[in-house]
Every structure is written in structure tokens, then in C-alpha cells.
Structure 1
Amino acid sequence: MTDILERARAKVLDGGEGLSYDEVVEVLQLPDDQIPELLDLAHAVRMKHCGPEVEVEGIISLKTGGCPEDCHFCSQSGQFTSPVRSVWLDIPQLVKAAEETAATGATEFCIVAAVRGPDERLMSQVRDGVAAIREAVDINVACSLGMLTQEQVDELRAIGVHRYNHNLEAARSYFPSVVTTHSFEERWDTCLMVRDSGMELCCGGLVGMGESLEQRAELAVQLAELEPHEVPLNFLNPRPGTPFGDLPVMDSRDALRTVAAFRLAMPRTVLRYAGGRELTLGDLGTRDGLLGGINAVIVGNYLTTLGRPADADIELLADLKMPIKELAKTL
């Protein structure tokens, strides 16, 4: 049998076709001494099929904490003893955050709420917030509000939300070990509605939660099946008071293998660095990932954890001669 990197070069780089489940497993099993070659291949795939530009995004939590769901990694769940309590932002705060995000060079601003799904109060707040942001600053507005009905999908599209984030979080086979208050299929159905509505679908996951290597590969190919515009890749940052609070931080070499494997499974997708990269990879690993398949980053802080300073990421992109993607005039 030919080496998996040789086969991946022909299939993904030359042919533009993503790797299968079995092939992703092989990539994730590569020895440490082949990681540089793997990252080089993933970077070549990214450059050929996505180009050199990097999309920069900032996020803000409209409603923080008090979530009724029991996602075992999340300190915003109201079921755990983690120290995040329910807080709402007002419209001026949302606009200010969007303006600050745009000032970094970001083209994307995502409004996030810790909920099972939006009620009328939240939809009203989002409606007013999106209108105020669009009037004040030239930036694309995305949302992440949990599971949706078809009517809510249609309304978000109508008010100008161009991208919706709803992560699968974990592979179907591992999902019951991560969340028990809703099903993988409920998440999947929301993703299908969003994709079919014409909004861009942002759908990723979280790795390093105790899943097997095979389940990591399963997540990659299930994401590929959805054909999302963007895949945010998160690494577990164990939060005190959550069921996963005592898990070890993912090994940086496994994290880099995962970055490259996701790129080889989805050669044309926007693959975004998201939460946990600072802890898992550090500055050097962050650079390696940007040269190993990543072509988008969240800058600044996350929802309940600190990120790298936005200026540090912007300077790193400049150092790597990676241009920041300009705002698409689609609004």
C-alpha cells in the first residue's frame, strides 16, 4: 500500500477530493517525524483550493451563562458549578463590540447566546442588534443561537444574518458522552435548515474531550458531509466545575495532526482556529497550524476564556505574509 501522504497528495491536492474516514484515520496515526511533511501538504492544499487570504472574526456573547443544556465542556451550563452566571448585553454594547472588531481588520462579527434555542425575547434582541450594527459599521454579521425552527432560520436570513454557527461538537458516536439534553440529530437538522436557506453554514467541533482517534476522524467526515462554508476547530480548554474540567490538555502534536487531517478531509472549506488553541498549541503551534491548513482565525477573547490579543494574531499574519480577507460586499 502506498503511503497515506502520497495518496493524499494525489487525491486532495491534485484531485480536490476530501479524504475518506479510513484515510483520515491513517493521517491521525502518522508518527511524529512525519508531522512536518503532513503540515506542508495541508498548507499546499489550503493554498491551492482556498488561496492565501485569512478570514478574521471577532465574537461577542449577547447572553452569557444560565444555559439549560448540559454540554460537558461548557462553563455556561446552568447545571454545573462553574462560575459563569447569566448576563445580557444591550444594543449599544453590541454595536461597540462590532466597531472594535472591525477596527482590527476583521470582516466577521458573530453574536452568540448560551441557550438551547432562541425565544422571542432573544430573537427581538438579535433583530434590533443586527439592524443597529449594520447601520453603524461595515461588517458581516453572523449568529450562534442554538437550535432553530424553520421560521427562525427564515427570519435570520431576512434580517441580514449571512452566516449561522451551529457546531456538531462531537462525532455522532461520541455525542451522548458529551451532551445528554439534546441529540446529535437535533443539531444536524438545524445545520441542514441553515444550509438549505441560503445562509452560510458555520459548523465545527471540539476535540480533546476524551474521544478516540477514530471518533475524531468520524467528526471530520460528518462535517464534510454537511458541506459547511466554515469549520471552526476548537480544542478543549478544561473548565473548572464542568464534567470535563479534569481532562488533560490535548497534546500539541495530536492537535496539529488534527488540523491537517481536517484540511485534507475538507480541502475547500474555511478552516478556522477557534477556542483553546492558545493553551493547546501556544505561539509556535499557532504558527505551525497557520502553515498547516488553517485559513481563518477568531481574534481576541472567546465566550468565557481568554484568547490571544488581536494585535498578536494580526502581526503574525503579516509576518507570515498572509493577507487578511477583505469584506465581501454582499450585504
Structure 2
Amino acid sequence: MSTSSVSVLDRARTRVLAEGQGLEEADILEVLRLPDEDIPAALQLAHEVRMRWCGPEVEVEGIVSLKTGGCPEDCHFCSQSGLFSSPVRSVWLDIPSLVKAAQQTAATGASEFCIVAAVRGPDAKLMQQMRDGVKAIKEAVDINVAASLGMLSQEQVDDLVDMGIHRYNHNLETCRSYFPNVVTTHSWEERWGTLKMVRDSGMEVCCGGIIGLGETLEQRAEFAAQLAELQPDEVPLNFLNPRPGTPLGDQPVMDPKDALRAIAAFRLALPRTILRYAGGREITLGDLGTREGLLGGINAVIVGNYLTTLGRPATSDLDLLAELKMPVKALSATL
């Protein structure tokens, strides 16, 4: 092991593992720069941190799109933007289908079900659809309901609280300095404002992003540090899966070793946070890398398919968790 990596991992062992404080930006960057031979040591330390500060349980979540496609925003990675030539058509999901998806998610043992809509922010129609859908889900199945509906007003935040939404997802996607290269139709600060309102409302905050958008390692470290400042309850970690017809459609898939370095770095930056495997892990890491990440700081997974891309079968993830002797967090443990 190199001298510099011994130094950063030793610092992390004291600060993060022993004291429960996340690494600061300069040290996060050092972890992201670790040589290949030091990746196993970083993942092992990240796993120890996860076990100490989060415990052995893995939170399982399913997601469904209430409103797909036709979004007016220009997020360069997203095939749901109506501004690109991506082959995703605008579709609304009816309430019975929403309830069925929640029941199927609960049947996997999941404790979280997230309703997602491809919008800048919800209009009156979408908020009413949410109210009707959440009511129907709660009458039919015992599961926490989360939502991801874009940027919110204070009134909409209050409405979601009244509906009984458990957790709100709104990803920052990338660091503040790189955001204008990825989105131009709204600002990073607008997203941050929504997240602060959600935090103040008492809903749990779910906020992560996508690694491999073309950002530098310095910007990747900046992003992790900004997430640590926000202190979200959950950070979904996506890896870019380039979508045809989007501005990032020709971006190369991230090197799996860089992805593993990022998993370790984000865990060491966020020792007490739910760190969730999300989109792109299948194409970036494959089965072996997925296993390494679960043994390197990840303690939550989205099972089944994502919004516009296919994931692993839920049974594959659940079988892997059983093989690794990682218990699925029960609903009662999240209440």
C-alpha cells in the first residue's frame, strides 16, 4: 500500500470509523485518487464504517413512474426530457396500476415505495393524482411511500406532509460547480432550496446524483462534501447509463474501479447516511462489482427496474443479500 493512501485511510479510520465524522473534501479527493491496489482496503474500511454507524441491515426500495416523459427540463443525462430525441413517450399511470406496483414492491420485502414524476415541479393535476394514489396505496398495503416530483413550493411541501409522504427525493445530480454543464433550464440553487424546505418540514430527505457525467475527480469530491453539508437521510448513488438521443448519449460508461472508489469515498464522507445503489450499477459494475459495493459501504438497494432502464431482477438482489447474510430492513425499523 502506498504511503499517501496509508495516510488518508489511517485518518479515515480515526475520524470516520472511531468518531463517526465524515471526511472533508480534501481527504475525499485522496480516496478518489487511490491506486488500484488500495481499492480493497478502502472498501473494507467503508464496510466497517457502514457496519458501525448504520448496522448490518439493507433497506430495499422499489420505484414507479406516475408520469413518464415529456419533461420540459434539459437534464443532459435524461431520456425523459421532451427537448431531446430520446424514444420515451409521455405516459400517465392510473391509480390501480400504482397500487399494484406498490403491492409488488412490498412483496419483495421492501419497506420503501417511491412515486416519481418527470416534471419540473408538480401542477394541480399531479398533486391530486398523488393524493388519490397515496390514499389508495395506504389502504391496500403496508409500506412507506416516498415521492420525487421535482422542485416544490412551500404549499406543495405541506401538502405532501399532509398526505403522509415519508421521504422526498430530489437529487442535486452533481456538484454546484459542474451543474451548469448538465442542466441549463434551472439552477443548482433551486434544487437546494426545495431540499431545505423538505428538511424543515420533517419529511426525510433523499438526495444523491449521478457519477460519471464528465465531472473531474475534484468535482466528484466537491459533490460528496456538498451532500455531507446537506446531511440527507439517504443518498442514492447512480452511475451514468448513457441514453440514446440525450446530450450525454455518447459518454463512455464509467470504469468499474472508479465506481468502487466513489462508493468508498461517499461512504467515508457520509458515515451515518443510507447509501443506496441506484441506476447504472448493472452496466457499470456487473454482478461482481455489485457484490463488492455491498461489501464496501452500500446499505440500500433499488430492486427491479428503474424509470427508463432495466435493472436486475429483484430476486437476484435479494438472493445476493441472503448469501452475504445481510438482513433486509423491516418496515417496523423505518417507522
Q: TM-score, normalised by structure 2?
A: 0.98
1:139-288 superposed matches below 5 A: 139-288=143-292
CA distance in 2, matches of 1:97, 1:110: 10
- Superposition deviation, residue 9 in structure 1: 0.4
User: Alpha-carbon deviation of 1:183?
Assistant: 0.0
- Superposition deviation, residue 90 in structure 1: 0.4
Residue identity opposite 1:301 in structure 2: N
Code of the residue aligned with 1:54 in structure 2: it is V
Structure 1 gap segments, 5+ residues each = none
Alpha-carbon separation, structure 2, partners of 1:321 and 1:280: 24
* 1:33 and 2:37 aligned: yes
Match of 1:17 among 14, 21, 27: 21
Hey, what's the Cα distance between the residues in 2 that align with 1:249 and 1:135? Answer: 42
Give distance in 2, aligned partners of 1:99 and 1:330: 18
What corresponds to 2:140 in structure 1?
136
Tell me which of 72, 89, 94 is aligned to 1:68. Answer: 72
Tell me, in whole angstroms, the C-alpha distance in 1 between the residues paired with 2:257 and 2:301: 19
Give the letter for the 2:324 counterpart: L
Q: Is the 8 A contact 2:111 2:334 kept in 1?
A: no
The residue matched to 1:308 in structure 2 has which SS? coil
Equivalence for 1:105: 109
Structure 1 residue ranges (4+ consecutive) displaced by more than 3 angstroms after TM superposition: none
Name the CA distance, whole Å, in 2 between partners of 1:159 and 1:286.
Answer: 35
1:285-296 superposed matches below 5 A: 285-296=289-300
Take 2:333 and 2:154, find their aligned partners in 1: how far apart are those partners? 26
Deviations 1:4-24 (A, max 9, x none): 011110110001100000000
Match for 1:109: what amino acid?
A: F
Structure 2 CA distance for aligned equivalents of residues 182 and 157 of structure 1 = 25
Of the candidates 297, 307, 313, which is equivalent to residue 309 of structure 1? 313
1:330 Cα deviation after fit? 7.0
- The aligned amino acid for 1:185 is E
User: Which stretch shows the higher mean deviation, 114-123 or 320-329?
Assistant: 320-329
Match of 2:322 in 1: 318
Q: Deviations over 1:226-281 (max 9, x none)?
A: 11000000000000000000000000000000001000000000000000000000
Q: State the partner residue of 1:116.
A: 120
In structure 2, C-alpha distance between the alignment counterparts of 1:329 and 1:115, rounded to whole Å: 32
CA–CA separation in structure 1 for the residues paired with 2:333 and 2:213: 38
**SS of match in other structure, 1:244:** coil
Superposed CA offset, 1:90-138 (max 9, x none): 0000000000000011010000000000000000000000000000000
Distance 1:36 1:170 in 2: 26
Q: Check 1:330–1:258 CA distance in 2 against 1; reply closer, same or farther (3 A cut).
A: closer
Q: Which runs of 5+ in 2 are unaligned?
A: none
Structure 1 residue 328, shift from structure 2 partner: 2.8
RMSD: 0.9
SS state at 2:331 partner: coil
- Partners of 2:89 and 2:72 in 1: CA distance: 12
2:207–2:236 Cα contact (<8 Å) kept = yes
Shift of 1:79: 0.2
Q: Structure 2: how far apart are the matches of 1:252 and 1:143? A: 30
2:321–2:327: 8 Å Cα contact kept in structure 1? Answer: yes
User: CA-to-partner distance for each residue in 1:32-88, whole Å, 9 max, x for gaps?
Assistant: 000000000000000000000000000000000000000000000000000001000
One-letter amino acid of the structure 2 residue matched with residue 325 of structure 1? K
Aligned-residue offset at 1:3: 1.1
What amino acid is the match of 1:304? Answer: T
Q: Are 1:55 and 2:59 counterparts?
A: yes
CA distance in structure 1 between the aligned counterparts of 2:9 and 2:211, rounded to whole angstroms: 23
What secondary structure, in the 3-state scheme, does the structure 2 residue paired with 1:328 have? helix
